[in-house]
């Protein structure tokens, strides 16, 4: 059994213990005894798995449970405070105001919900959060006709020409030029002459300053499939569940050398503490309209998106340049994908695309600045509706990905229509 599997095993017992004892005063030493690990190891592993300190995680879970009772029950605040582990009615009020800027009574009246679900992920890679500095370096763009293994081609070419190199090597994807893909190396030994590289696919080096930030880092063996999986885990799983968000600053990966070969990579994802947690609210019909296409089976999402883009390019090219809100809806193994358009736009007939608009009624909307897996957010929103006694129609659920600020760091809104109750 590997170290990550062992960690997952005892961490699951920690999460179960926390959920069973949220109303109690949770002592960190007691938690570490529950997992049969030291205090320091528990702190490191908890942060690695969840992106939260133990104290922060417990605080949010306790508050989430209290707010659910405030919103859905007739209990007095004193009773809610006692049931959820607060020392007094005043302590609960301070916690609610400190997080939401509202009193409990105001929150009860608002059509906004705070929800922090229990962690249900699986730790696939160890992640560390720390402030770090990428040193001053020389940037060398490397161009190649194939994107597959371009990183190893760049690093391998460099090490063949400079086998005695002893500095640090960082890398990241660069901007494609025509049919050539780009990968950039960053070399911390700035005193050497690298002109020999220009006849092997590299451009002349340019000096770049040091870069300091808070990073989520993970170290992985130098295997392309494992590296891609590690990046996916950082973005799609770890970051989504953590108290952090991506900063739009450049990511990078550092090559760990042994005997002149890159044997491992350390991934650096720049992050910052998230300004707010996932927000859930009830809104009236938002009046949205989309041009969509449907596809089933393998690569359905990609094929549906390509159909819509082809239709818009042929009929409304300006929409592609101006509309940056993307529609996604799943129906079994089929995807409906599209782009938001003006409700007044008259569409040219095409059997491959359709017009979809939101209908009258109310919607439960989940908003997050951390883009995550569609299914995970859909399950989260539906379970929230169920737990809070909200009658919703999952068949009409869809996601709106917002790229108006950046395509690199999309925001998501998940819309779940509420069922109309017959009088």
Q: Give domain limits for the chain.
A: 3-114, 128-273, 279-417
DSSP state of 259: T
CA 47 to chain centre: 16
Architecture of 3-114 per CATH?
Orthogonal Bundle (1.10)
| Superfamily of domain 128-273, CATH level 4 | Regulatory factor, effector binding domain (3.20.80.10)
Q: Taking a C-beta distance cutoff of 8 angstroms, is the pair 394, 417 a contact?
A: no
Q: How many helices and strands (H and E) does the chain possess?
A: 13, 18
Give residue for tokens 């006692």.
82
154 by Cβ neighbours in 10 Å (0-12 / 13-18 / 19+) ranks as: buried
pTM of full prediction above 0.85: no
Q: Taking a C-beta distance cutoff of 8 angstroms, is the pair 290, 327 a contact?
A: yes
Give ∠ CA 343-347-348 in degrees, rounded to 5: 175
Neighbours of 262 (CB within 10 A): 19
Neighbours of 134 (CB within 10 A): 21
CA 413 to chain centre: 13
The contacts of residue 9 (CB under 8 Å, 6+ apart) are: none
Neighbours of 28 (CB within 10 A): 15
The contacts of residue 307 (CB under 8 Å, 6+ apart) are: 293, 295, 352, 353
Question: One fold for both 3-114 and 128-273?
Answer: no
Distance CA 247, CA 91 (A): 33
Spell out a b/e string for 379-396, using b for 16 or more CB atoms within 10 Å of the CB, else e. Answer: ebbbebbeebebebeeeb
Distance CA 376, CA 278 (A): 13
pLDDT tens track of the chain, all 423 residues? 445 554 566 778 888 888 888 877 766 666 666 655 677 777 778 877 777 888 888 888 888 888 888 887 778 889 898 888 888 989 999 999 888 888 999 888 877 777 777 776 555 667 888 889 999 999 999 999 988 889 999 999 999 999 999 999 999 999 999 889 999 999 999 999 999 999 999 999 999 999 999 898 889 999 888 898 889 888 777 876 677 778 878 899 999 998 888 999 999 999 887 766 667 888 899 999 999 999 999 889 999 999 999 999 999 988 887 888 999 999 988 999 999 999 888 888 899 999 999 988 889 998 876 555 688 788 878 878 876 677 888 889 999 998 776 655 678 899 999 885 443
279-417 has CATH 3.20.80.10 classification: yes
């Amino acid at each position: 059994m590997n170290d990550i599997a062992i960690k997952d095993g005892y961490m699951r017992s920690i999460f179960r213990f926390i959920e069973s004892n949220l109303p109690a005063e949770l002592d960190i030493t007691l938690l570490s005894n529950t997992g049969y690990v030291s205090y320091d190891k528990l702190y490191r592993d908890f942060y690695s798995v969840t992106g939260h300190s133990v104290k922060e995680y417990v605080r949010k879970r306790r508050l989430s449970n209290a707010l659910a009772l405030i919103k859905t029950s007739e209990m007095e605040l004193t009773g809610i405070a006692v049931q959820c582990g607060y020392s007094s009615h005043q302590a609960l009020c301070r916690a609610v105001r400190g997080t939401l800027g509202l009193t409990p009574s105001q929150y009860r009246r608002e059509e906004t919900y705070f929800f922090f679900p229990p962690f249900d992920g699986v730790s696939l890679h160890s992640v560390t959060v720390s402030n770090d500095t990428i040193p001053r370096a020389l940037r060398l763009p490397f161009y190649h006709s194939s994107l597959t293994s371009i990183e190893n081609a760049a690093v391998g070419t460099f090490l063949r020409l400079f086998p005695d190199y002893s500095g640090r090597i960082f890398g990241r994807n660069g901007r494609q030029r025509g049919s050539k893909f780009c990968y950039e190396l960053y070399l911390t030994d700035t005193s050497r002459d690298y002109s020999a590289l220009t006849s092997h696919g590299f451009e002349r080096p340019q000096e770049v300053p040091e870069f300091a930030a808070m990073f989520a880092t993970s170290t992985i063996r130098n295997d392309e499939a494992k590296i891609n999986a590690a990046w996916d885990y950082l973005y799609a799983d770890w970051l989504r569940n953590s108290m952090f968000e991506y900063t739009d600053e450049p990511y990078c990966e550092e090559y760990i050398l042994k005997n002149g070969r890159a044997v491992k990579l350390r991934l650096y994802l720049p992050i910052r503490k998230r300004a707010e947690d996932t927000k859930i609210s009830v809104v009236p019909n938002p009046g949205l309209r989309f041009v969509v296409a449907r596809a089933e089976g393998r690569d359905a999402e990609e094929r549906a998106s390509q159909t819509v883009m082809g239709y818009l390019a042929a009929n409304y090219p300006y929409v592609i340049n101006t509309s940056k809100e993307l529609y996604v809806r799943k129906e079994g193994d089929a995807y409906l994908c599209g782009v938001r358009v003006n409700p007044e736009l008259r569409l040219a007939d095409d059997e491959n695309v359709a017009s979809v608009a939101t209908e009258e009624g109310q919607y439960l909307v989940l908003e997050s600045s951390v883009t995550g897996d569609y299914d995970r957010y859909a399950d989260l929103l539906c379970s929230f509706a169920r737990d809070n006694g909200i009658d919703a129609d999952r068949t009409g659920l869809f996601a709106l990905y917002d790229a108006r600020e950046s395509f690199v760091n999309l925001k998501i809104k998940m819309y779940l229509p509420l069922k109309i109750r017959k009088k």
